[in-house]
Amino acid sequence: MRPLRPLMLAALLCACSEPSRAPLDAQPSPRATEPAVEPPTPRRCAPPPGVSGSPTSIAAAITLLGALPPPVTVACFVESLDRPLGVFASASPFSAQPSSDVASPRIFIRSGPLTMTVIAEGLGRGLLEFGEHADDGRTIKGEVELPPPAPLSPTTPFDRVRVGDATSCSTCHDDEAPAPAGRPGLASEVLHPSPLFDVPLDRLRHAAERCDDAGSPERCELLHALFDHGEVRPATLPSGGRLCDH
């Protein structure tokens, strides 16, 4: 047997050695499958410094409305709200803002003890409705028309729904009485739409993505105001409300 040549021996020794290791400080390359996150669309309607974009009372919502650039539409107000935003949607036809289509449901926006509702089409589409939760389990009701036909005052939401000694809300909401603790307005029971009409948030988001801006400009404006300016999360309605299914 011939002795191994020096070059062949060196090759064999190299083949038996451990593979080279990457430097300890080497960083893994980003995954190609991760989708790019698009930044939120810049807002025309945004709260100025010193004004909260997360109103937790009717009074705070009126302050925000008064600070926004005109015309203050329903879409402008929704756009101005801080994100993440908690949202619940219902296509129930039994409400002051009845829905006739799952693509245009009534939208409930939760902000602490304050629930605000809007709708893109149909009766009530130009209204922003409020339900501020009181300590006794009822809600103080109010609403404003947008854009406002006159300058808003602290009593505007309550004057809009007042009918003599009661409110228009008392047609459906029982147990109406003055708001507790000397707060303005009248409070009444909480009503919840039937779960049969619940609209999943993903379905509403899909409707926004496919919205025909030319064919349904007002509807699309509201849906874009809701989804184009930051995170929107599913929310639930407060517990204890009576079911409204007729």
Domain total of the chain: 1
Least confident of 22-36, 137-151, 154-168, 229-243: 22-36
- Residues sharing a CB contact under 8 Å with residue 55, sequence separation 6 or more, in sequence order: 61, 63, 64, 111, 114
pLDDT tens by residue, 25-57: 444 444 445 445 567 888 999 999 999 999 999
Give the mean pLDDT of 174-198: 90
Of 83, 125, 126, nearest in space to 104 by CA: 125
CB hemisphere CA count around 187 (13 angstroms): 17
Q: Give residue-wise pLDDT tens across range 107-119.
A: 999 999 999 999 9
At 101 the pLDDT is 87
Q: Is the pLDDT reported for residue 204 higher than 90? A: yes
Residue 178 is part of which domain span? 58-244
Residue 85's alpha-carbon distances to 55, 69, 172, in angstroms, are: 12, 21, 28
Round to whole Å and give the CA distance between 41 and 31: 26
The yes-or-no verdict on residue 125 having pLDDT over 70 is: yes
